[in-house]
Amino acid sequence: PCPQRPRDTMGQSVAMGGTGGPGTPLPLPPLLLALALLSPWGSAGASCPPRCVCASNILSCSQAVLSSVPAPLPRFTAVLDLSHNNVSRLRADWAPGRLTHLHALLLSHNGLSFVSTEAFAHVPHLRHLDLSSNRLRALEENLFSDLTELEVLLLYNNEISAVDRTAFDNLGRLRKLYLGQNRIARFPLELLRDGSRLPQLALLDLSANRLRSLPVGELQALPAWLRDRLYLHANPLACDCPLFQLVARGRRRRLSAVMDFQEELRCLLPTAPAPVGILSLAGRQPLNCSEAQEAVLEAHLGDAVTLSCDTRLRGVRSRHWVTPGGERVLEEGGNGSAALLANGSLRLQALRPEDAGTYACWVAGPLLNETLYVELLVHNFTLHGPHDTLNTAYTTLVGCILSVVLVLIYLYLTPCRCCCCRGTEKPPAPRDDSINSSVLSTTPNHAAGVPGEPCRSRSASITGPGQNGRFKVGGTPQPPPRHGPKAQRKVSDPDSVSSVFSDTPIVV
């Protein structure tokens, strides 16, 4: 049988036979010796930890049944893979020395339930951190604040239900955040609002959590390049029309978060036993939702508006607008009332009726191009026109009601006129005057006043008993007695029939 060759060791070679005899170590050739000395693991004071595989600056200890991080760790380690082990706690002293070269740390599938807030103080240049598929329940205050250069953070498939508002502070370079398959019940809108917390964030995965509602209005206001990578599928969302319109707009724009997971975008109806597709709510009872038109802007004559070029492309090289009349608005200037802003939006001043129509924004990206359309509706009146008309009608109505009220007050609530007769009053006109006998006259008939005697009211003017012992109402005095053979003319009796249209009474 052939003799078995002994295993080679780094820096030595065992040769069978030769001048040195069997088993005598021989020196390496000069080139191999130089490569061995240049290798990190061949330098003095550095060794690969037990049960780990070392290759260049990569240290892989995956599936090594480790319960703690091996020590010591070489300082030149750039990639450290500790996945699929039993490291349940990551303390602050897991890396005694400062690992300035480490840029990727993999700790998935470890049953990790505790991470110290100072655990990443010794790895300031970490760019990729994988904590997925563990048992983390909460993200504590300032947990990742030392990782100012972190770009990718994987936290999916944990038991996270509480996220501190400061957990992601100082992560100014974070681009991808994976929080799917957890127990998050509140949408962390503070991560996206204004872009101040995570300015470089381009992907946020919140799928398969416990979200029941979404801030649809604020999500719709996000730029399209961020909505393109906002994953919300597999959540127990409550069905409503704003949610349907948010998803429908994403499908119309062909956003990846909608197009790739249409089947998983479901919501709960009170009358349905199982979740239904969000996109199937169009015209369906009881909501009967309708799709809102995309990018339709309404304005009035004389207004100034800004048309947004909401592209889903990043790294745009150039863009320009085309007006409904076919004129191009380039980056270097405008065409009078239209001007291109620095962020790619189109500013229109002093709108006219001919400014209405469909505007097109042409965007040239690094890999592909995109064209966006914005429809502008210009109402043929100023913004204050409808309000002035409404105010005029309201004023007229109030004036009419006030006039009616004043008339009613005059007719029914005028107080009884009561005064004292003066001794120097002028005696009344003779009763045979045609004016005093008219039933249309509003002047009451008074008897000759007695000095010092108060006047009687019209409603109670009674001069004495009449026929059959009755009193005659109306203020007509008894006819004076005749003096002499010549009889005086009789005063008209109120009970006599007279014409209401005649100025001269009919005397009986």
Encode pLDDT of 451-477 as tens digits: 444 444 443 444 444 444 444 444 444
- Which is nearest to 324 in space by CA: 285, 349, 299, 356? 356
| Maximum C-alpha span of the chain | 191
Residue pLDDT, tens place only, 316-342: 878 888 888 888 887 655 556 788 888
SS3 55: strand
Residue 112 pLDDT > 70: yes
Q: DSSP secondary-structure letter at 27?
A: P
Residue 289: per-residue pLDDT: 87
Residue pLDDT, tens place only, 358-370: 888 888 888 778 8
- Which is nearest to 84 in space by CA: 114, 67, 51, 108? 108
- % of the chain with per-residue pLDDT over 70: 68
Q: Among all chains, which residue has been given the structure tokens 């026929």?
A: 467
Structural domains of the chain ordered from first start? 297-379 (2.60.40.10)
SS3 267: strand
Residue pLDDT, tens place only, 208-241: 999 999 999 899 888 888 999 999 999 999 999 9
Residue 24: per-residue pLDDT: 39
| C-beta separation of 334 from 340 below 8 A | yes
Report the distance separating Cα 319 and Cα 362, nearest Å. Answer: 5
| C-beta separation of 337 from 383 below 8 A | no
Listed range (5-9, 46-50, 80-84) with the worst mean pLDDT: 5-9
Residues contacting 467, CB < 8 A, separation 6+: none
Sheet holding 58-60, edge to edge: 53-55, 58-60, 79-81, 104-106, 128-130, 152-154, 176-178, 203-205, 230-231
Residue 311: per-residue pLDDT: 86
Identify the band that residue 440 occupies on the pLDDT scale cut at 50, 70 and 90.
very low
pTM greater than the 0.75 cutoff: no
- Which is nearest to 237 in space by CA: 204, 201, 195, 279? 279
Report the distance separating Cα 24 and Cα 15, nearest Å. Answer: 7
Report the distance separating Cα 309 and Cα 101, nearest Å. Answer: 41
Q: In one letter, which amino acid is 117?
A: T
- Which is nearest to 248 in space by CA: 207, 215, 281? 281
SS3 335: coil
Geometric angle at alpha carbon 342, from 339 and 343, rounded to 5°: 110
Residue 107 region, left (φ>0) first, then alpha (ψ -120 to 50), else beta? Answer: alpha
- Which is nearest to 124 in space by CA: 101, 96, 151, 147? 147
Residue 7: per-residue pLDDT: 40
Residue 332: per-residue pLDDT: 58
